């Protein structure tokens, strides 16, 4: 089985910029990314044989990864799930993508607690009774070890015993190399968006990535070509499970 197309963290960021240059805005990519994340979260809950809506925890760090997590929370709340979210970013900058996603999540019934004052209490509150936690603390743009509040949040989640679904890359894992320079969140499933990240498919990362998945978020073919990446085959927008990082599971 051939390896799927992969991107480094830098190439993944360049891919988003190339998409924007071809008319697909960051907001448009984020809208589909958050929907795909919610789809997988719902699927994972169904695998557990849950017949009634179960509570979910969402961990929203700074930047686009955290905004994706808040968008995911909004969809899950709309589908009837009780959702609690801990936010680590400053939500006062009205008009940016993060604050817009936060407002939409609140309007959809997501309970939100800012984790700026007492992080430990916020994490415990978010995880209490949750059947699944969605990791949006750190994204592909992160280099070096997690620091401060984020490192503490990762450690708290790992001790919490809740199954974790990571968005794009488990927080603390290098998206390019798969190395763990500091605290790293241990995910049961990782949903990579638009293209697989090379670090997530590295052998040393498998215990932290869990099951790798891939989802289409509407990046045009021309954007992949502009960055010099091979376009993955994402038929009908399906969530694609990858078999040990080598390709679609048969």
Ranges of the chain whose pLDDT falls below 70: 1-2, 49-52, 91-95, 117, 244-250
pLDDT of residue 219: 96
Place of tokens 């008319």: 23
Cβ atoms 196, 175 nearer than 8 A: no
Nearest to 71 by CA among 217, 223, 221: 217
Rounded Cα distance, 246 and 250, in Å: 11
The domain segmentation of the chain, as residue ranges, is: 6-241
The pLDDT of residue 30? 94
Beta strand residue intervals within 104-150, DSSP E: 111-114, 132-136
What top-level class would CATH report for the domain 6-241? Answer: alpha beta
> Contact 6/214 with Cβ under 8 angstroms?
no
Residue 247 confidence (pLDDT): 47
Model confidence pLDDT, tens digit, residues 147-193: 888 898 899 999 989 999 999 999 999 999 999 988 999 999 999 99
Rounded distance, CA 179 to CA 49, Å? 34
SS3 content of the chain, % helix, strand, coil (to 5): 40, 15, 40
Residue 121 confidence (pLDDT):
87
User: DSSP secondary-structure letter at 226?
Assistant: H
User: How confident is the model over 103-128, as pLDDT tens digits?
Assistant: 999 999 999 998 776 788 888 899 99
State residue 93's pLDDT score. 62
């Amino acid at each position: 089985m051939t390896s799927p197309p992969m991107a480094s963290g830098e190439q993944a960021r360049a891919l988003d910029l190339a998409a924007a240059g071809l008319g697909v805005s960051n907001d448009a990519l984020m809208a589909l990314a958050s929907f795909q994340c919610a789809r997988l979260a719902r699927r994972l809950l169904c695998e557990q044989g849950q017949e009634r809506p179960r509570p979910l925890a969402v961990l929203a760090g700074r930047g686009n990864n955290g905004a994706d997590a808040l968008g995911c929370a909004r969809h899950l709340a709309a589908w009837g799930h009780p959702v609690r979210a801990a936010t680590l970013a400053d939500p006062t900058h009205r008009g940016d993508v993060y604050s817009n996603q936060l407002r939409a999540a609140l309007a959809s019934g997501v309970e939100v607690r800012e984790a700026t004052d007492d992080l430990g209490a916020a994490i415990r509150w978010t995880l209490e009774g949750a059947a699944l936690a969605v990791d949006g603390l750190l994204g592909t743009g992160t280099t070096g070890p997690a620091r401060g509040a984020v490192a503490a949040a990762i450690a708290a989640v790992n001790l919490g015993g809740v199954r974790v679904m990571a968005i794009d890359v488990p927080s603390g894992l290098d998206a390019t190399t798969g190395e763990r320079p500091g605290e790293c969140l241990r995910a049961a499933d990782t949903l990579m968006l638009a293209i697989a990240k090379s670090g997530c498919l590295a052998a040393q990362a498998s215990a932290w990535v869990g099951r790798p998945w891939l989802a289409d978020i509407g990046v045009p073919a021309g954007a992949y070509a502009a960055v010099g990446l091979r376009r993955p085959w994402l038929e009908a927008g399906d969530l694609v499970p990858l078999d040990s990082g080598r390709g679609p599971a048969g």
